[in-house]
A and B are shown apart, each in its own frame.
Chain A
Amino acid sequence: MSPRTLRSTALTTGLAILMAVATTADAQQFLLTPSLASLTHSEIGEDLEFSGVGGGLVASYRTGRFGVAGEGILGSLASGDQAVTASSYRVALFDLRATYRVLPGLDAVLGAQSRSISPEFAAQDVGLIRIGLATETALSRLADIGVRGAWLPYADFNGGGEAGFGFEVGLGVSVGPADGRYRALMSYDFQRIDRTVNGADVPMQMMVARLGLQVGF
């Protein structure tokens, strides 16, 4: 399955779940979070460490124990090293998470992510699936903190190769009025994938940091 196929499948599935849940739920919460994103992406070695900024949007919906969130980020990354083949590229990242509350404050997460690089092969297009846990706790009525961690059991690359160990962790904090309608949000997700190509290690890691405004409906 190519990353583009995985991306379209994940998006379609996510939208279907989002619509199905939204039309049947009673106690509902819908959040929309436009954000500025800081992106860092590295492959193989320090020479191929790219960083840049972008913009994104997260839409999440929760009803009862179930939740679903979709995120899209478009960014442009560049390398300070002019000796590399391509000094910059654009990335389109789409992410989908479905959650189920297993304990108060603790969600099981099943998700998928797709990253597309342009121009092609400037970096690896990646499609992956995650299984993890996420928790969110109120520090007070004005602030929440959330942590998530996920194992990446499957990843696919347009340049071929196999995914070994893959894991990601994330931290987020939001602050705003007690009614929860508006929240300033700051978060990051760090992802590591140990890719091998023909037995050679070609690891990659990516970090997405966000500064956004969360609006509740």
Chain B
Amino acid sequence: MGGAVLSGVLDFPAHDVPFLEARMHLRALVAGSLSLFALSALSAPLRAQDSTLVARAESAYVALDFSEALALARRATTSRLAQGQMARAYEVLAFSYAALDSTRQAVEAFRELIFLAPDREPSVERVSPRITSLYASALGQVLVVRGLDLDSSSFVGGQGAVPVRFAISRPASVLARLVGGGLDIVVDSQLAAGSSGFRWEALQRDGTPVPAGRYRILLTAREGASEFTAETTIDVRHAPVDTLPHLTSLPGYTNLPRTEVPPRDWKPFGLSALYTGLTTGAAFALSNGDLGNKWSTPALAVSLTSLTTGLVMALRKPDEREVPANIRYNDLLATQIAQRNVQLAAENATRRRQTALTIMPVETAGAGADR
């Protein structure tokens, strides 16, 4: 109950990484792998006993029995614990020292806590300002990289980047490397202070995208003799770049009808009447009445046929006729679509040579320090 309350107050989730591995990483001076194997066989039952020490220390702290809490926490810090349990033990230790006004010891305990879990800090809303102040004092004394993070991101290789964020406790030079799959590439180098970051294009030195696979981004901060390395693991996946479909129409533009049915008019009859009247009138005007008029009967028959044809053509539904403006518009539209499709074809040819990259963080893992 007390441990749960304390964890809830401080908002520290548990960790699964064995403390021994964390210590190796922190100090880089731990025994070799043979002793690790030997110890790992005995570690499981011992860890269960040691973790109860942390819980009992937290309970004692909650019960304001700070001396008991100190004693239990000290025992816990000398035992083999998972990294998360060890962080909780140092936390109880630091809080207890702070409660007993042992400032120096409290700061030292907080420093251990920061090295173990640099991204975790007491919530200013739930702990006393004194504790917050002591934590800040400890943080100012160490060089750590905190909040190393990146979001999942997808982009075309060479045309995008994934933003990588981090914060650094003190101004320092920072070197970022990509390690994995036989690669060890420097991806960024800068002098950083406070919150910072960089954009990673996921490219190799020759400009080609990094091969698909799992990689670590190692961020090493150096200031004088101090050095701290944080890392995060990412997955890089490859996919073909989607090609663009060819256009059959332009958005917002549609072909206009090539033809239209004009409104009915009397033009055909008018034309036939005009032509027939002119011709037949001219024929009668030219004719010589002394030479007879037998010629007029066939001529009038033709004239009557002409007039009738004009009348019928005027009364029937008008023929569809082409609309030149619409045809020019459609031709222009077709030209535009063709030009756009040529551009799309060139774009698709380029896309077929490209690779779509998806960068996904796998986990954010611990830290190493050289103090």
Contact = CB atoms under 8 A, between A and B. Distances in A.
A175 B309 contact: yes
A137 B276 CA distance: 12
A205 B306 CA distance: 23
B45 interface: no
Given A190-B299, A205-B287, A209-B299, A145 B305 contact: no
Interface stretch (A8-16, A35-43, A61-69, A121-129): A35-43
Contacts of A49: 291-292, 294
A122 B103 CA distance: 151
- What DSSP secondary structure best describes chain A's contact surface? strand
A137 B267 CA distance: 11
Interface string A45-83: 110110100000000000000000000000000000000
B325 interface: no
Contact of A145 (B271, B295, B312, B316): B271
A151 B282 CA distance: 13
A141 B319 CA distance: 7
A33 to B, nearest CB: 15
A50 to B, nearest CB: 9
Q: How large is the interface on A (under 10, 10 to 19, 20 to 34, 35 or more residues)?
A: 35 or more
A139 B294 contact: no
A171 B276 contact: yes
Contacts of A45: 290-291
A139 B271 contact: yes
B268 A143 contact: yes
A130 B309 CA distance: 29
Contacts of B286: 167, 169, 190, 192, 205
A158 interface: no
A188 interface: yes
Interface in B264-317: 268, 271-272, 275-276, 278-280, 282-283, 286-288, 290-292, 294-295, 298-299, 301-303, 305-306, 309-310, 312-313, 316
A173 B312 CA distance: 13
B275 A171 contact: yes
28 contacts: A40-B294, A40-B298, A42-B292, A42-B294, A51-B295, A137-B271, A140-B268, A141-B319, A142-B319, A143-B268, A143-B312, A143-B313, A145-B271, A145-B275, A147-B275, A149-B279, A169-B282, A173-B302, A178-B319, A186-B306, A190-B295, A190-B299, A203-B288, A204-B291, A205-B287, A205-B291, A207-B298, A207-B299
Interface of A: 38, 40, 42-46, 48-49, 51, 137, 139-143, 145-147, 149, 167, 169-173, 175, 178, 186-188, 190, 192, 203-207, 209
Interface of B: 268, 271-272, 275-276, 278-280, 282-283, 286-288, 290-292, 294-295, 298-299, 301-303, 305-306, 309-310, 312-313, 316, 318-319
